[in-house]
Structure 1
Amino acid sequence: MPSIHRRPADQAIVVRLALIAASCVLASYPATSNAQVPDAAPAPGEAIAGRSVAAADEDSLPGKAAGPFAYLERSGFDLDQRNALIIGASSAAFLAYGHAKWWDQGFGGGFKTRGEGWFGRGTDYGGTDKLGHMFTNYASVRLLSRAFRAAGNGADESVRLAAWTTIGIFTGIEVLDGFSRKWRFSGEDALMNIAGAGLGVLMEDQPELDAKFDFRFGYRRSTGSRFDPFGDYAGQRYLLMAKADGFESLRRHPVLRYLEVGIGYQARFTPGGERRRDAYVGVSLNLSRLLADGFYGGRHGTTPFQRGADLAFELVQFPAAGYVRHRID
């Protein structure tokens, strides 16, 4: 009898963290628009997290390819071909991984579904898996937006292509699950995929909002487990962080500008029988602002290392925070 739909945690998180790593690499390439980093650093308290609205307007214009796409451009690949390469390579990577890890038992038996629930105590992972789907699609849109931008597209077109590519890939994965012998289609997963892609589009389209808020993945080894961000679901935490640096009145404060506050969720469902859901409120250091002020004169996006680090700080919650925990059950 085929098993019910739920991929092993380690496979899902491997894909998720691979997206983060790839995002950081792509973020190291400079923008291909006419927008430039200012020659002089802004006055203390005036540096703005992320790109300005004016820069975002200029970014809407297509430009020359950057990074490895510049080589393709010189080799005669036009923009449509470079876009097709990104879409094809992304789809092929997930299909190859799915064939090896998820659909190794093949397909058959018609289209099958399973209602998994959301964040209830009686679900498989207390909703951590649902937030994982959301975060994966969110990170995918952020990653692919940079890939399409580096290929030479304007910012608006890059986000549109990233969103449809992401939704297409992850919806396709869910549909194939429904036809597979081993898994089931999950409507909850499909909806969370769309929600994550939508959040990614919102953040890419609204730089001022992106400067204020981050959606992050965090990990701390759970009791009785070895250090395993890939497979230790009980140690995973998802957070929504608000950055003081994104608010003009707080950005001018010499201390508060380095702080972030946020809320988080974690479900500790362990093989040993623990089934506990927790909500968090916490305060963290803004590592991106510390990096900019400490080494780059208050500016963002000045070097490949800084661009990659900023994106890592935006997607991953590093151990620079303190939390107050509220036990839901």
Structure 2
Amino acid sequence: MKRSSFIYALFFLLLPLLSLSQIEAPVLLKSSEVLNKTRRDFVVITEAALASISLIALDQLWYQEYARSKFHTINDNQEWFQMDKMGHAFTAYQLGRFGAETLNWSGVSKKNQLLYGGTLGFGFLTAVEVLDGFSKEWGFSWGDIAANAAGTGLYIGQELLWNEQRVALKFSFHQTKYASQRPDKLGNGLLEEVLKDYNGQTYWLSINLHAFFKDSQIPKWFNIALGYGAEGMLTGVSGLDDSFMSNQDRMAQYYLSFDVNLKKIKTNSAFLKSVFSIFNSIKIPFPALEFNKERCVFHLFYN
């Protein structure tokens, strides 16, 4: 399993845990209008414990399988059509969003929500990157750090500029034929493939049109989505695929589709609001146009 994919696994495991504080009982679902120290302390202690346990688990269970080294850097910016960098940005954005939202539930000031919650993803992923730096197999990547910063900046920047998320970074996945050609690296079975097969991953900028045209009749939940993906990859860089007898062309893919902003769906249920917030990180399957170096393709149902 690739180390970057393990980050995605941690992210998806952390989402429900970071939201536990919001689904204990109906009365506790609502955000506090003033600072609630009990909630704040619970959120801070829980997130700190989860992050610490995750880093210790990574160090003892993952990096132990590889030789240690002196701290060193690598330049992996040309690998996997930057799909791994998209994954870093997505993880940093979503962890920052959930970190800020849990502090908002605690009644923490907006400034501190962004300072301590919005940077949760960047801080956690930077710690993982340092572990990479001491692993002979990997290495500290400034490209990964830049991607982490981009994801964090996308969240915090919009909160500072608009006090809302008009553009969300989302994820979708579909199974491909490439995993079966190299299951040790691209995954064996659906769960592993979701985490490891870059060919099936797509990352989206989901843009809420009503937020930009507030006087319009556009439904508040309606989004336009711009996607990025790639396929034909059995290895990180071009040329090495030939050793695996792949006749597929490596290519980047760009998508235009629709999406739903689940957080804009009206409901009086605090529980549903919490559920919508969690699943708003996933792009809703819709028809899509794909643009690549060879052709334009219409997908009736793309995920």
| TM-score between the two structures when normalised by the length of structure 2 | 0.75
Q: Structure 1 185/17 Cα, relative in aligned 2: closer, same or farther at 3 Å?
A: same
Identity %, equivalent residues: 20
User: What amino acid does structure 1 have at the position aligned with 2:83?
Assistant: T
- Contact kept, 8 Å, 1:9 with 1:233, in 2: the verdict is no
- Contact kept, 8 Å, 1:142 with 1:200, in 2: the verdict is yes
How far has the Cα of 1:281 moved from its partner? 1.0
**Structure 2: how far apart are the matches of 1:26 and 1:216?**
23
**Structure 1: how far apart are the matches of 2:6 and 2:131?**
16
- Contact kept, 8 Å, 2:31 with 2:106, in 1: the verdict is no
Q: What RMSD, in angstroms, separates the aligned Cα atoms of the two structures?
A: 2.9
How far has the Cα of 1:98 moved from its partner? 1.2
User: What amino acid does structure 2 have at the position aligned with 1:15?
Assistant: L
How far has the Cα of 1:174 moved from its partner? 1.0
Report the equivalent of 2:36.
Answer: 64
How far has the Cα of 1:240 moved from its partner? 0.7
Report the equivalent of 1:57.
Answer: none
2:105 is the alignment partner of 1:159: no
SS at match of 1:315: coil
Q: Structure 1 101/63 Cα, relative in aligned 2: closer, same or farther at 3 Å?
A: same
Report the equivalent of 2:198.
Answer: 233
SS at match of 2:196: coil
How far has the Cα of 1:268 moved from its partner? 1.4
CA distances 1:87-106 after superposition (whole Å, capped 9, x unpaired): 53143133123124431147
How far has the Cα of 1:169 moved from its partner? 2.5
Q: Structure 1 177/224 Cα, relative in aligned 2: closer, same or farther at 3 Å?
A: closer
Determine which of 138, 144, 167 is the counterpart of 1:213.
167
Report the equivalent of 1:299.
Answer: none
**Structure 1: how far apart are the matches of 2:116 and 2:127?**
16
- Contact kept, 8 Å, 1:282 with 1:323, in 2: the verdict is yes
Q: Structure 1 148/286 Cα, relative in aligned 2: closer, same or farther at 3 Å?
A: closer
How far has the Cα of 1:114 moved from its partner? 1.0
- Contact kept, 8 Å, 1:112 with 1:185, in 2: the verdict is yes
2:86 is the alignment partner of 1:131: yes
- Contact kept, 8 Å, 1:20 with 1:315, in 2: the verdict is no
Report the equivalent of 1:242.
Answer: 207
**Structure 1: how far apart are the matches of 2:92 and 2:155?**
8
**Structure 1: how far apart are the matches of 2:199 and 2:96?**
26
CA distances 1:229-279 after superposition (whole Å, capped 9, x unpaired): 2233211110111223323133x25xx555321211001144363322100
**Structure 2: how far apart are the matches of 1:170 and 1:179?**
15
2:39 is the alignment partner of 1:85: no
Greater shift in the superposed pair: 178-187 or 97-106? 97-106
SS at match of 1:307: helix
How far has the Cα of 1:309 moved from its partner? 2.9
- Contact kept, 8 Å, 1:108 with 1:180, in 2: the verdict is yes
How far has the Cα of 1:172 moved from its partner? 2.0
Report the equivalent of 1:59.
Answer: none
SS at match of 2:177: coil
2:225 is the alignment partner of 1:262: yes
**Structure 2: how far apart are the matches of 1:265 and 1:192?**
15
Give every structure 1 segment of 4 or more consecutive aligned residues whose post-TM-superposition deviation is greater than 6 Å. none
2:8 is the alignment partner of 1:21: no
Greater shift in the superposed pair: 233-242 or 177-186? 177-186
Report the equivalent of 2:283.
Answer: 317
| TM-score between the two structures when normalised by the length of structure 1 | 0.70
SS at match of 1:102: helix
How far has the Cα of 1:287 moved from its partner? 4.5
CA distances 1:8-59 after superposition (whole Å, capped 9, x unpaired): 45423212322443455455532111xxxxxxxxxxxxxxxxxxxxxxxxxx
Identify which of structures 1 and 2 has the higher relative contact order when contacts are C-alpha pairs closer than 8 Å and 6+ apart: 1
Report the equivalent of 1:222.
Answer: 176
SS at match of 1:126: helix
Report the equivalent of 1:42.
Answer: none
CA distances 1:167-195 after superposition (whole Å, capped 9, x unpaired): 33222221221112332111100111111
Alignment of 1:77-156 (within 5 A): 82=42, 85-86=45-46, 88-105=48-65, 108-118=68-78, 123=79, 125-156=80-111
Q: Structure 1 102/200 Cα, relative in aligned 2: closer, same or farther at 3 Å?
A: farther
SS at match of 2:138: coil
Any stretches of 5+ residues in structure 2 without a counterpart?
Answer: 24-28, 180-188, 235-243, 295-303
SS at match of 1:248: coil
Report the equivalent of 2:237.
Answer: none
